[in-house]
Amino acid sequence: MTIQKAVWREEIKMRIQEAVWREEIKMRIQEEVWREEIKMRIQEAVWREEIKMRIQEAVWREEIKMRIQEEVWREEIKMRMQEASSTASKPNYTFAFFWVASVKVIILRRYTVD
């Protein structure tokens, strides 16, 4: 009987060791799953930051376009003022005043839409 008990003890030890190994494998798999989850979350954060940067770049491009357009309007105003003063025998300041005022209103409306 003692031999049989020794065999059972060894078998129990082996089963316990196998169970320990299975738990160890489960823990390692879970750790790997967590590492992958962390990597994914970091990648998502990187993508969000990249999207923010691209949106900011688009905003800056629009700002530059608007400033260029303002400069174009200024030059156009100057040209029209010169045309008005050169074609008229006497300068038409009333026309120029209202024309400049209307352009300013257009510009103000553009920037106060928000």
Within 10 angstroms of residue 73's Cβ, the number of other Cβ atoms is: 15
Q: Which own/partner pairs from 53-58 qualify as long-range (CB within 8 Å, at least 24 positions apart)?
A: none
Cα 107 from Cα 29, distance rounded (Å): 63
Read off the pLDDT of residues 25-82 as tens digits, 9 standing for 90 and up: 999 999 999 999 999 999 999 999 999 999 999 999 999 999 998 888 888 888 877 7
Residue 93: the pLDDT is 65
Read off the pLDDT of residues 73-88 as tens digits, 9 standing for 90 and up: 888 888 877 776 666 5
Where are the chain's structural domains?
A: 1-112
Cα 6 from Cα 10, distance rounded (Å): 6
Residue 31: the pLDDT is 97
pLDDT at 95 over 70: no
Q: Determine the average pLDDT of the residues in 99-108.
A: 73
* Rg of the chain (C-alpha set): 39
